[in-house]
Amino acid sequence: MGIIDRFSCIATLLVAFLVLTSCSTTSWEVVDENAMDVNEYQKIDSRYYMVSTNSVSPDQPIIHFDIRSINTYEYTERVLTERYIQRYRPRLGYVLLGAAGSGLSLYAAFSDQLLTRPSNPQKYALTGAGALLTTLSFLNMKPVGEPAKTGESRLLRKTGTAQEVDTTFARPYNVETPSIQITYGGRTLLEKTEWNFNDGRISINLAEELDAGVFNEDPDSKITVNAVYDSLSHIRSLEVASVFERFVVIENQITALRNQPENNSNNVLTELGEGSQLKLVSKEDEWFKVMYGISETWIAANDVRVIWRPSEFASDLSVIAIPNVPFGSVSVERNIPVLGRSNVDQAAFIVSNNKYEGELSERVYGERDAKLMEEYLIQGFGVRSGNLFKATNISTDQLLERAYSRMASTIRGDQHNIYVYINGYAKLVEDEVHLIGTGLNEDAEQLINLPRFFRALNNLSINNLIVFADLDFIEDTGSASDLEDLAQIVTSSNTAATVYFSSRPDQRSAIYSSTNGDQNRHSIFSYYLADALKQGKINTGEILNHLERNVPFTSRRLYDRPQNPLMFGNRDLQLLN
């Protein structure tokens, strides 16, 4: 192999060595002159406090009070150093120059083409010089990339101190027991001077410790819980709704459950008995949205009272559902007898108020009572539909007068047998009987003057006049004489006039339905009035006897309260000629 070939081979080996050759070095660098030495500290201060921050809801009505410690520590500050590794690689230019110099030295040492051959010592010197140049070229290296951390660190000399504050949960630090006081609206509901810690914290199940019955429908105060331990204390206020849920309890004997918040016979889902309990969702005007099973339904606010109970109460609700049956299902609604033939000399007037606003609840079965009497007047008495006039859910005297005027203009001339049926809430105003209107005037009741209406009846051409008044007096006042005064307006001027009243003014006219018993879906008075007619009793005295035998007994049996029907006028009058 020639010298040139040897040099080429050497050059190739140098380049490969250059590519593959690298080295690295390590060094320690200062990164923080005030680094905290977490292993060298001392506690210089500590104090305790109490706090309550957990969320309280009806599903989780437990309030927690925790003891916490505020600790101040002093740490030593030192110089922090970290170890880095730096990689290096030979510089190409220097390596090539070194290789060239080395090559020239070797050429001079071993070439046969030189004029003067070097001696052996000179060869050795030239060879050493070439090796030295090559070595020096590789020692001149450049750094590759950024220094890399090794993860090693050292804390050196102390440079100062630093303080830190740390808040931690603390355990009870002495043998004292905590005390609890719960107040509401200035009243103390619970006070215990010895309470136990539960796993180092004070825990109170408010739903178990408090009586939900003390809270009003719309509480205007908050529940205040005060926890005290040693010299520590903390007070927290909570809404009643964050502990208990609202439910409604039906107070009427029967009330309708509806799918819409409006009085309409077509939106009744079912009827519920007194004492039924439902979960309250919200209140909108005069209606409550309640849960019936998994459905949101509506019930009149006047028919229920609101109570607060724990959330578990929802799993044990008492619901007394009374199926909503169509008209014709009750005995007196079926097989109405024909008591008289159709006669143009007969007329009827029905006044029925049941869809009340404001504080009065819907008059249960009032609409059904009016329909029952309409069926008996048309089918039983033979009153022609053109001679039957109605004033339903009226609020003023003017509306009643309009309906009366239609009847008066229709039956002019010959004398008529006139049948009048009135139902609704009533009250005495200055010893005069007034029917309560279904509307409100500036949030006040509107009243319909019945004496004025009775005087208007006297202006008609009347043969017989029969008035059935199913009035439910809302105030426990008055006496039978007040009703007698009203009846005498027509009976004193007409010996063929008779007026029935469902009860005295100091009694209520109840419905003939009970939670776990009879479901006759009418007022007691209207039911037994229809029952008497169904039995063919058309004499005023016979009808009174039937009412007196059954109405008081049924009211006592169902409600344990009196209801005595009254009659004024002719006691021996035939309803039909």
Do 228 and 251 lie in one domain? The reply is no
Q: Where are the alpha helices (DSSP H) in 237-283?
A: none
Do 479 and 425 lie in one domain? The reply is yes
Do 307 and 429 lie in one domain? The reply is no
- Return the minimum-mean-pLDDT range out of 141-150, 227-236, 327-336: 141-150
- Return the minimum-mean-pLDDT range out of 202-206, 277-281, 403-407, 440-444: 440-444
pLDDT for position 1: 46
Q: Tell me the CATH number at 539.
A: 3.40.50.1460
Confidence bin at 101 (pLDDT 50/70/90) = low
pLDDT for position 143: 77
Full residue range of the structural domain in which residue 348 is found: 336-569
Give Cβ neighbours of residue 394 (< 8 Å, ≥ 6 apart).
Answer: 351, 353, 400, 403, 437, 438, 448
More confident residue, 449 or 217: 449
- Does residue 540 have a pLDDT over 90? yes
Confidence bin at 99 (pLDDT 50/70/90) = low
Q: Residue 112 class from Cβ within 10 Å (0-12 exposed, 13-18 middle, 19+ buried)?
A: exposed
More confident residue, 102 or 234: 234
CB atoms closer than 10 angstroms to residue 344: 13
Do 376 and 308 lie in one domain? The reply is no
More confident residue, 426 or 145: 426
Confidence bin at 8 (pLDDT 50/70/90) = low
On whether residue 90 sits in a domain, the answer given is: no
Most confidently modeled range among 33-42, 82-91, 379-388: 379-388
Do 464 and 513 lie in one domain? The reply is yes
What's the rounded Cα separation, in Å, for the pair 432 and 450?
Answer: 8
Do 249 and 206 lie in one domain? The reply is no
What's the one-letter identity of residue 209? E
What's the rounded Cα separation, in Å, for the pair 4 and 42?
Answer: 77
On whether residue 143 sits in a domain, the answer given is: no
Q: How far is residue 208 CA from its own chain's centroid?
A: 21
- Does residue 443 have a pLDDT over 70? no
On whether residue 95 sits in a domain, the answer given is: no
DSSP letters, 510-574, are -EEE-TTS-EEEEEHHHHHHHHHHHTT--BHHHHHHHHHHHHHHHHHHHHSS----EEEE-SS-B
The domain boundary residue, chosen from 239, 271, 288: 239
Task: Report in angstroms the alpha-carbon separations of 376 from 80, 349, 393, 418.
Answer: 106, 13, 21, 14
Do 422 and 513 lie in one domain? The reply is yes
- Does residue 3 have a pLDDT over 50? no
On whether residue 346 sits in a domain, the answer given is: yes
- The predicted-structure confidence for 199-212, as pLDDT tens digits, reads as follows 889 999 999 999 99
| Mean pLDDT, all residues of the chain | 87
Do 41 and 167 lie in one domain? The reply is yes
Do 413 and 350 lie in one domain? The reply is yes
Do 297 and 267 lie in one domain? The reply is yes
What's the rounded Cα separation, in Å, for the pair 124 and 99?
Answer: 17
On whether residue 484 sits in a domain, the answer given is: yes
- The predicted-structure confidence for 287-298, as pLDDT tens digits, reads as follows 999 999 889 999
What's the rounded Cα separation, in Å, for the pair 385 and 264?
Answer: 24
Most confidently modeled range among 5-9, 214-218, 442-446: 214-218
The domain boundary residue, chosen from 223, 239, 255: 239
Residue 144: strand, helix, or coil: strand
What's the rounded Cα separation, in Å, for the pair 564 and 555?
Answer: 9
Do 292 and 218 lie in one domain? The reply is no
Residues 126/106, Cβ–Cβ less than 8 Å: yes
pLDDT for position 92: 63
pLDDT for position 7: 47
On whether residue 503 sits in a domain, the answer given is: yes
The domain boundary residue, chosen from 216, 239, 262: 239
- Does residue 14 have a pLDDT over 60? no
- For residue 357, which phi and psi values (nearest 5 degrees)? -115, 170
Q: How many domains in the chain? A: 3
**Averaged pLDDT, 485-491:** 96
pLDDT for position 285: 83
Do 40 and 170 lie in one domain? The reply is yes
On whether residue 88 sits in a domain, the answer given is: no
On whether residue 437 sits in a domain, the answer given is: yes
DSSP letters, 160-191, are EEEEEEEEEE----SSPPPEEEEEETTEEEEE
Tokens of 415: 């004398």
